[in-house]
């Protein structure tokens, strides 16, 4: 394996689209699957589909890969339904703290994917943060990017994940546009803390529960997937940047029409002229 010629030697940027996984029968048969396992399976299948149809000669010169599942990428557009009947919710998982531009990037990619002009709700989730760091200093620049998207009417409602009462209060006091939702992981606290529920009620913040891990997509998992689909060399040095999970629901019926993931990863900071390959 180690002496194999790399398939994607110059690729530094990777985007993977799952398509509409409501149509993925294999995933439907796994009701106890965690969100991390679901994401990894989506990514694995999309990469498999992409590389099966890719021109290996072109891949040798590409610096960016944009990988979609050949079958399910065509089932995403929402324009066949009246927009008023649908609610689009997106959760952006930041796998590491980089430029705040990734928030805009993730939102724009979801909008393009769904052929939509706006999103109803965007939730922001952070990786494990240093307990000694000032949490507000870390999250506020990303929140301000969400505020900008709200003002541009790309996003109608913005929320956050995994803030305790003290951190939520700090954000609320500093934010120009207040969080409307705070997601709480009940695996870390079996019962909602009373101070958090009281504060949320006083400030009209909806508390929702979730079971998503903070490390929903690790660097090791991306490297493993790329090594499996290509060569060991192709799997080296990947950093997971962000993952976006989107869902489109019929409001009145509570039925999910569309669900999917988009992930972005990168490796090597060397600046090269982009040669994007899209299949």
The pLDDT assigned to 119 comes to 96
The pLDDT assigned to 168 comes to 96
Q: Which CATH architecture has domain 13-273?
A: Alpha-Beta Barrel (3.20)
The pLDDT assigned to 224 comes to 95
The pLDDT assigned to 192 comes to 85
pTM tops 0.85, yes or no: yes
Record the tokens describing residue 278, joined without a space. Answer: 């899209």
Encode 109-118: b = buried (16+ Cβ within 10 Å), e = exposed.
bbbebbebee
Strand 13-17's sheet: what is its strand order? Answer: 206-210, 181-185, 155-161, 119-125, 86-94, 239-250, 255-266, 13-17, 64-68, 276-278
Q: Write out the E strands in the chain.
A: 13-17, 64-68, 86-94, 119-125, 155-161, 181-185, 206-210, 239-250, 255-266, 276-278
Contact by Cβ (8 Å): 235, 227: yes
Q: Say how far apart CA 135 and CA 90 lie, in whole Å.
A: 23
Contact by Cβ (8 Å): 12, 270: yes
| pLDDT beneath 70, residues of the chain | 1-3, 25-31, 72-77, 79-82, 132, 188-190, 269-279
Domain residue ranges of the chain, discontinuous segments joined by +: 13-273
């Amino acid at each position: 394996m180690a002496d194999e010629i790399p398939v994607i030697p110059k690729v530094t940027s990777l985007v993977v689209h799952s398509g509409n996984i409501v149509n993925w029968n294999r995933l439907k048969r796994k009701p106890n699957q965690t969100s991390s396992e679901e994401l990894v399976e989506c990514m694995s299948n999309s990469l498999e589909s992409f590389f099966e149809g890719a021109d290996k000669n072109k891949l040798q010169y590409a610096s960016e890969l944009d990988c979609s599942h050949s079958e399910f990428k065509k089932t995403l557009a929402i324009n066949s339904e009246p927009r008023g009947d649908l609610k689009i919710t997106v959760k952006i998982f930041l796998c590491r703290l980089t430029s705040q531009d990734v928030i805009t990037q993730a939102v724009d990619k979801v909008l393009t994917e769904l052929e939509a002009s706006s999103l109803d709700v965007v939730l922001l989730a952070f990786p494990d943060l240093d307990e000694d760091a000032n949490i507000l200093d870390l999250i506020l620049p990303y929140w301000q990017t969400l505020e900008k998207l709200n003002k541009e009417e790309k996003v109608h409602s913005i929320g956050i994940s995994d803030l305790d009462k003290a951190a939520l209060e700090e954000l609320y006091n500093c934010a120009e546009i207040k969080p409307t939702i705070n997601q709480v992981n009940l695996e870390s606290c079996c019962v909602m803390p009373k101070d958090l529920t009281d504060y949320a009620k006083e400030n009209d913040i909806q508390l929702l529960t979730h079971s998503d891990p903070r490390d929903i997509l690790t660097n090791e998992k991306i490297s493993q997937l790329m090594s499996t689909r290509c060569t060991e060399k192709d799997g080296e040095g990947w950093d997971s940047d962000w993952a976006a999970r989107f869902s489109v629901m019929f409001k009145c019926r509570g039925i999910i029409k569309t669900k999917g993931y988009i992930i972005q990863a990168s490796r090597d900071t060397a600046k090269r002229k982009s040669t994007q390959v899209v299949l």
